[in-house]
Structures are given as C-alpha cells and as structure tokens.
C-alpha cells in the first residue's frame, strides 16, 4: 500500500546539520558527512498530518495523494525548526500542517517508510 | 443652508471650528483610548518574552490547574511569570493562587497585577467581582473590551512567560487574544483520556490553524491514579480496577507497592497529539491533592514541590520549553 521501499530502520540516527533547499529537492546533511536528497514530492507525500496520513492507508488514497502532490508547483518551502525535535515545511500551496520529526526525515532520506508499515487510525485509543 | 453641493468661503463667517457634541466627544475619547491601548498592547508584547495560551475543548479537564501548574513550575526555575485569566464568566485562578478576595491596584490609569505564590503575577476578572457568587453575564463586544483592557492596560513589567488561561471551547476569547497580543508562541491543549474530551481537544487543535497560532503540545490530565501502600515484603497484591480488571503488584523488599489505576483510560492525549502531528508534552497523574490545593489556595507544586505532581509538571514544562526555546535548532543550518 505504501510507496516506500528500503530496509527496516536499524541504524542510529546521526545529528542533522544542514538543510539545503534546491530546485526540486532538499539536500539533508548529517554529522559524519552523509548527505541525502528528498524530493519535495516525496516530502509532501509523507506529510504526517491528520488530513494527509489517512490517504496513505489504501492504494487508492495513495494514488490520489501522489497525484495531488505531483500537481502542486515545484517550489522551495520555508523551513521552520519545531522545538529541537522536528521541522515544519511551509508551502504556498498544499498542506503545510505536518510536523516532521527528525526520525521521519531520516527515514525518508534512507528511502524507508516513515510510518513503518503502520496504518493510520483515527481515534486509536 | 443652501442645498447646493458647492460651498464657498465667507470671509465674514466665524472660522472657529464647531464644538463637538457630547456624543462625538465620547466617541473621540473612546477612539483615543482604543489607539492608546493598541500601542500599549504592542509594547507589552515586547516586554513579555513568551506568551502561551492554554485551552481545552471541553470543560472540567483541569485547564486552570494546568495553567497555574505551568506558571508555578516555570517560576520555580526562577523565571518571571504572569497568568492572565481570560475565563471572564468563571474565573478561578486567583482562588488557586491563594489570592481570593484580593483587589487590583490601579495607578495612573494602569492596572497592577496581584502577586501570588512564587511571585507569579495574576490578572483575573475575579478581582473585580463583588462576590464570587456574582455571575458575569456579558455579550461578546463587552467581553472583547474587557480582554483588551486586561492586555493593554495592565502593568505586567518584564516577564519571561505569560500563561493565558481561557474558558473551555473554541469561542471568541482566544481569537481576541490572538489578534490583540503580538507574537504568541503557541497554545497548549489540555485533555483527559476520555473520548469526549479527546474529541473536543481535536477541535481545539484544528482551531489553532484558523487562529494561526501553533500548537505547542497536548497535556493529558487525570492520566492515572497511583495507589501506594505497605504489605508483607515480596507478597502479591491484587486490586479490583475499573472495567472488571484486576491489577497486580508485588511488594518490594521493604514492603512498598504501588499500582496505577487508569481511571479515564490512558494514552489518548499522546495518540491525539500524534494524530495531528503536534507534540505530546506529557501526562499528569490524577491527584486529589490538586482539588484540595485548589480549594485551599495552595497549589500542589507549592505544597509538595518534590512530589510526583510537581515532578510531572517539571517534565511538561521542560518539554514546553523545548518547543519555544529561541535557538532550538542547535546549529542546524537552513539554506
């Protein structure tokens, strides 16, 4: 259902040191010199907010979300630091609600499913 | 007077400006006061480093207790803190802060806040009521004026934190504050683990989007009641819990045991936070001492500063500060 591939997260996340916003993607640098690119489309597709997340639960929703994301203009987002644990991306169009934990960005950088295969459930208590 | 739309200057006419009618004068005075207040609100915004709104979707979740707890816990760190009790129709922060029956001091048209435990400054409608049984029945515009006065006409001085306590729900009070007070850091949503409270707290989170005020996090109150006791060392204790469950604990070598009862379920606040992609600041235990302390005017943090509730509040405050600390990125370069 999810359109991510890659291994299960087993490594320790290094400290994020730099975010470079490029034309179509963001280049994320970590302590130790490792660098990863994440396309803006992938970033938007992985939005963890309550509006976008449920769409990723089913194949149809995944396709819808992917199409919605790809139809948006390719723009550099504003990046804001949330506390000391996450980043927020602000776009002129589309959803800007999600707060991306550093772990989530690390998963995206490593081409892993940031939801770890878990379906999103409203009111899971 | 001529009906012509064209006017001509008559050199013989008296050029003195016409005197304003009493009604016009009153309007001008109001406009002047409003303008002065607006400037003052901007100034106050600069004097207060961090402003935090405390909201809940549902009443009775312990929002005022959390507001006072946050303020006292911050003050415990040596910070200068104020509480603005915006709950105009049901103000109860003064009672919780041991300021029952106090009056506000007004000097040169400026209102000076009362000072409660640990030097926390407090402004509340309760200070203006003749009796705590007097209801305040105000319509929107009057409430709005009172809130603006509480912000613009109060001599807060320099504060590290201003905690703003609201009535429950998504009414016009938060909107007025968000529009009047510049640079609000964000809001804390208080909830209990029960489903109706969680449903309403989700509304508050969505409400924050329309206010353009970020959610700093969710606090789960009444998150579990811990029973402690003594028994024979090594013995097993069984306690009948809600929903027909049995909780088991084993007494340690000294005979101490403790079991936590999840009276209103548990973990819903965290799940709500995760669901909306907002931080979960922490959970507060169900503590009857809060009720007693609230009634006696001695908050649990003051009466038992080393106790489990004070420790839980300190952890929540620490999580809150992580959200609003200025240089939280810690060397992260964004280009």
When CB atoms are compared, the residue of A19, A85, A125 closest to B265 is: A125
Instruction: Check whether B316 has a pLDDT greater than 80.
Output: yes
Q: How many CA atoms lie within 13 A of B57 on its CB side?
A: 23
> Which range is most confident: A25-34, A90-99, B188-197, B282-291?
A25-34
Alpha-carbon distance B191 to nearest alpha carbon in chain A (angstroms): 14
Contact B164, A89 (CB under 8 A): no
Chain B, nearest residue to A104 by Cα = B277
State whether A21 and B333 contact (CB < 8 Å). no
State whether B279 and A85 contact (CB < 8 Å). yes
User: Rounded to an integer, what distance in angstroms lies between the CA atom of residue B173 and that of residue B223?
Assistant: 28
Burial class (CB in 10 A: 0-12, 13-18, 19+), B126: buried
198-257 in chain B: CB under 8 A from chain A: 198-199, 209
Instruction: Check whether B324 has a pLDDT greater than 70.
Output: yes
Q: What is the per-residue pLDDT across B140-150, written as a single tens digit (0 to 9) for each?
A: 666 677 777 77
User: Rounded to an integer, what distance in angstroms lies between the CA atom of residue B255 and that of residue B229?
Assistant: 8
> What's the whole-model pTM score?
0.62
Alpha-carbon distance A45 to nearest alpha carbon in chain B (angstroms): 15
When CB atoms are compared, the residue of A17, A48, A123 closest to B332 is: A17
Residue A124: list chain B partners with CB under 8 A.
271, 275
Taking Cα atoms as reference points, which of A28, A51, A55, A53 lies closest to residue A39? A28
State whether B328 and A18 contact (CB < 8 Å). no
Residue B322: list chain A partners with CB under 8 A.
83-85
- Three-state SS string across A27-94, please? EEEECCCCEEEEEHHHHHHCCCCCCCHHHHHCHHHHHHHHHHHHHCCCCCCEEEEECCCEEEEECCCC
Confidence band for B128, pLDDT divided at 50, 70 and 90 = confident
Instruction: Check whether B127 has a pLDDT greater than 90.
Output: no
2-21 in chain A: CB under 8 A from chain B: 16-21
71-130 in chain B: CB under 8 A from chain A: none
State whether A18 and B268 contact (CB < 8 Å). no
Chain A, nearest residue to B328 by Cα = A84
Q: Out of A87-91, B124-128, B222-226, which region has the weakest mean confidence (pLDDT)?
A: B222-226
Q: What is the pLDDT of residue A9?
A: 43
CB of A23 within 8 Å of any CB in chain B? no
Q: What is the pLDDT of residue A8?
A: 41
Q: At what angle do helices B288-296 and B63-76 cross, to 10 degrees?
A: 80
Instruction: Check whether A10 has a pLDDT greater than 50.
Output: no
Torsion of CA B246, B247, B252, B254, to 10 degrees: -80
Q: What is the pLDDT of residue B155?
A: 86
Over range B179-202, report the average pLDDT. 74
Q: What is the per-residue pLDDT across A79-111, written as a single tens digit (0 to 9) for each?
A: 877 656 678 888 898 887 677 878 889 999 999
Q: What is the pLDDT of residue B111?
A: 84
Task: Report DSSP state, residue A102.
Answer: H
Q: What is the per-residue pLDDT across B257-276, written as a single tens digit (0 to 9) for each?
A: 877 776 656 666 677 777 77
Alpha-carbon distance A51 to nearest alpha carbon in chain B (angstroms): 8
Q: What is the per-residue pLDDT across B64-120, written as a single tens digit (0 to 9) for each?
A: 889 999 998 888 776 788 999 888 767 788 888 888 777 778 887 788 888 888 788
Instruction: Check whether A124 has a pLDDT greater than 50.
Output: no
Chain B, nearest residue to A46 by Cα = B277
Complex ipTM over 0.95: no
Span(s) in chain B for CATH 3.40.50.300: 48-223+263-323
Alpha-carbon distance A5 to nearest alpha carbon in chain B (angstroms): 23
User: Rounded to an integer, what distance in angstroms lies between the CA atom of residue B65 and that of residue A41?
Assistant: 44
State whether A84 and B267 contact (CB < 8 Å). no
State whether B333 and A17 contact (CB < 8 Å). yes
State whether B271 and A17 contact (CB < 8 Å). no
Give the Cα-Cα-Cα angle B292, B295, B300 (nearest 5 degrees): 50
CB of A99 within 8 Å of any CB in chain B? yes
Q: Catalogue all structural domains in chain A, each as residue range(s) with its CATH number.
A: 16-109 (3.30.2020.30)
Instruction: Check whether A29 has a pLDDT greater than 90.
Output: yes
Two structure tokens written together for B35: 């303008």
Confidence band for B202, pLDDT divided at 50, 70 and 90 = low
Taking Cα atoms as reference points, which of B83, B6, B62, B81 lies closest to residue B291? B62
Sign of the dihedral through C-alpha A112, A113, A115, A116: negative
Chain A, nearest residue to B323 by Cα = A83
User: Rounded to an integer, what distance in angstroms lies between the CA atom of residue B92 and that of residue B99?
Assistant: 10
Buried b (16+ CB within 10 A) or exposed e, A19-46: bebeeebbebbbeeeeebebebebbbbb
User: Rounded to an integer, what distance in angstroms lies between the CA atom of residue B58 and that of residue B39?
Assistant: 34
User: Rounded to an integer, what distance in angstroms lies between the CA atom of residue B93 and that of residue B87?
Assistant: 9
State whether B325 and A48 contact (CB < 8 Å). no
When CB atoms are compared, the residue of A16, A99, A120 closest to B332 is: A16
Instruction: Check whether B334 has a pLDDT greater than 50.
Output: yes
Over range B34-57, report the average pLDDT. 77
Rg (CA), chain A: 14
Which has the higher per-residue pLDDT, B69 or B138? Answer: B69
CB of A67 within 8 Å of any CB in chain B? no
Q: What is the per-residue pLDDT across B159-168, written as a single tens digit (0 to 9) for each?
A: 888 999 988 7
28-57 in chain A: CB under 8 A from chain B: 48-50, 53
Mean pLDDT of chain B: 76
User: Rounded to an integer, what distance in angstroms lies between the CA atom of residue B215 and that of residue B217?
Assistant: 5
Which has the higher per-residue pLDDT, A29 or A85? Answer: A29
Q: Out of A44-48, B97-101, B220-224, which region has the weakest mean confidence (pLDDT)?
A: B220-224
CATH for B48-223+263-323, among 1.10.3720.10, 3.60.15.10, 3.40.50.300, 3.40.1280.10?
A: 3.40.50.300
State whether A82 and B323 contact (CB < 8 Å). yes
Q: What is the pLDDT of residue A108?
A: 93
Query: How many Cβ atoms sit within 10 Å of the Cβ of residue B141?
Result: 9
Which has the higher per-residue pLDDT, A38 or B142? Answer: A38
User: Euclidean distance between the first and final Cα of chain A, in Å?
Assistant: 24
Instruction: Check whether B237 has a pLDDT greater than 80.
Output: yes
Q: What is the pLDDT of residue A41?
A: 93
């Amino acid at each position: 259902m999810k359109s991510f591939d890659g291994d299960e997260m087993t490594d320790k996340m290094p400290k994020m040191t730099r975010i470079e916003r490029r034309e179509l993607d963001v280049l994320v640098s970590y302590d130790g010199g490792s660098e990863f690119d994440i396309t803006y489309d992938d970033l938007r597709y992985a939005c963890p907010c309550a509006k976008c997340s449920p769409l990723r639960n089913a194949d149809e929703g995944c396709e819808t979300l992917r199409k919605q994301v790809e139809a948006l203009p390719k723009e550099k987002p504003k990046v804001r630091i949330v506390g000391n644990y996450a980043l927020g991306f602000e776009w002129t169009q589309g959803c800007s609600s999600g707060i991306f934990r550093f772990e989530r960005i690390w998963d995206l950088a490593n081409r892993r499913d940031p939801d770890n295969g878990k379906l999103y459930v409203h009111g899971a208590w | 007077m001529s009906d012509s739309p064209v006017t001509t200057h008559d050199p013989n006419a008296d050029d003195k400006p016409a005197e304003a009618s009493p009604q016009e004068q009153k309007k001008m005075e109001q406009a002047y006061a409003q303008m002065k207040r607006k400037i003052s609100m901007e100034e106050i915004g600069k004097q207060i480093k961090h402003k935090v709104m405390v909201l809940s979707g549902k009443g009775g979740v312990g929002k005022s207790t959390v507001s006072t707890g946050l303020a006292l816990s911050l003050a415990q760190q040596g910070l200068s803190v104020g509480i603005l009790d915006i709950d105009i129709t049901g103000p109860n922060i003064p009672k919780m802060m041991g300021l029952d029956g106090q009056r506000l001091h007004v000097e040169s048209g400026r209102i000076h806040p009362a000072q409660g435990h640990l030097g926390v400054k407090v402004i509340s409608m309760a200070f203006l009521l003749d009796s705590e049984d007097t209801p305040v029945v105000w319509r929107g515009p009057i409430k709005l004026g009172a809130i603006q006065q509480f912000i613009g006409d109060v001599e807060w001085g320099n504060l590290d934190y201003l905690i703003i306590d609201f009535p429950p729900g998504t009414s016009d009070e938060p909107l007025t504050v968000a529009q009047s007070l510049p640079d609000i850091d964000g809001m804390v949503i208080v909830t209990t683990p029960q489903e109706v409270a969680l449903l309403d707290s989700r509304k508050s989170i969505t409400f924050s989007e329309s206010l353009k005020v970020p959610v700093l996090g969710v606090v789960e109150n009444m998150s579990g009641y811990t029973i402690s006791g003594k028994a024979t060392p090594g013995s097993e204790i069984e306690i009948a819990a809600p929903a027909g469950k049995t909780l088991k604990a084993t007494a340690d070598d000294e005979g101490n045991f403790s079991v936590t009862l999840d009276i209103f379920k548990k973990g819903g606040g965290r799940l709500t936070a995760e669901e909306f992609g907002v931080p979960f600041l922490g959970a507060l235990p169900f503590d009857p001492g809060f009720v007693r302390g609230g009634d006696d005017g001695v908050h649990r943090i003051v009466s038992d500063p080393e106790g489990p509730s004070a420790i839980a509040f300190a952890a929540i405050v620490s999580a809150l500060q992580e959200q609003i600390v200025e240089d939280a990125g810690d060397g992260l370069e964004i280009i």
